[in-house]
Amino acid sequence: MKREFCDLHLRPKLEDPNQTERIILKASEMGYRLVAITFPINATEEQIENVRRACEGTDIECATRVDLTPRTPEQLKNTLRRVRRKFEIVSVLSETKNVARQAAKDRRVDLLNFPSLDYHRRFFDIAEAELASTGLAALEIDIASLLVHQGPTRIRLLSMFRRETATARVFHVPTVVSSGTTDEILLREPLAHVAMASLFDLSVEEAVNAVTRNPLHIYNRNKTKLDSKFIAPGIRIIGKSKDC
């Protein structure tokens, strides 16, 4: 069966429509079939529709994404109430352990992302993975961070990525590999992402799943939930009688 390659973390400058179109077009030319565009929390329907139009004429399906950076668990819960029905992909960029723990166990969170370069501020440890294993969130690794850093910083990043993906494997938490880039110059072809994922000690199958099956599953799951006919898992409205 043919694989559909996905990149769930494109961060174009939405105020520059030409740049947004370029990054979408380049992703399409590279073979991606699903991308998630990151929007601000207060994104308007017009902004979202403009990006969807930019995907027309390409082979790409476009998902909406929001990156949350809450300071406290309570702030995270309150924000999730506002955005969960608005965006197809919800990611939490955790800067504190308390927020990371809440994000891991909250079933409204799709992706756990740790942007810090500091080992002590990357909170995907055994306790975090155990919480995530009871929820729906996947661990997300952004490739762009490896491309923009060199020397000792890149070595530390690789070490942290290996530790985190190994922990995710033990607790059966899916891993998603994304670009995380704001610029088309840092986009890489899907197989390049697979090759780089092997540096995290992922097997070939795990690396391929990280850019195909795992992100696609998250998108399809949420697309179904956001459908107006969705009631609950396994329950959908298929029609209404005149007596309803």
Per the domain annotation, does 148 fall within a domain? yes
Residue 193: closest CA among 147, 224, 136: 147
Banded pLDDT at 120 (limits 50, 70, 90): confident
- Residue range 35-50, pLDDT digits in tens: 999 999 999 999 999 9
pLDDT at 229 over 70: no
Average pLDDT score over residue span 140-161 = 95
Per the domain annotation, does 202 fall within a domain? yes
Main-chain phi, psi angles of 77, to 5 degrees: -65, -40
Per the domain annotation, does 116 fall within a domain? yes
Average pLDDT, the chain: 92
Average pLDDT score over residue span 137-160 = 95
Banded pLDDT at 232 (limits 50, 70, 90): very low
Structure tokens at 40: 């601000």
CA 132 – CA 137 distance, rounded (Å): 6
- Residue range 52-66, pLDDT digits in tens: 999 998 999 999 999
CATH number reported for the structural domain that contains residue 181 in this entry: 3.20.20.140
Q: What is the pLDDT of residue 230?
A: 46
The DSSP code for 110 is: -
Taking the CA atoms of residue 151, residue 152, residue 158 and residue 160 in that order, the dihedral angle to the nearest 10 degrees is -160
Per the domain annotation, does 241 fall within a domain? no
The two beta strands, 230-232 and 175-178, are unpaired
Per the domain annotation, does 17 fall within a domain? yes
pTM assigned to the model: 0.91
Per the domain annotation, does 50 fall within a domain? yes
Q: What is the pLDDT of residue 1?
A: 53
Which domain does 24 fall in, by range? Answer: 5-236
77 SS3 class: helix
CA 157 – CA 160 distance, rounded (Å): 5
Per the domain annotation, does 244 fall within a domain? no
Q: What is the pLDDT of residue 119?
A: 86
- One-letter amino acid for residue 94 of the chain: S
161 SS3 class: helix
Count how many domains the chain has: 1
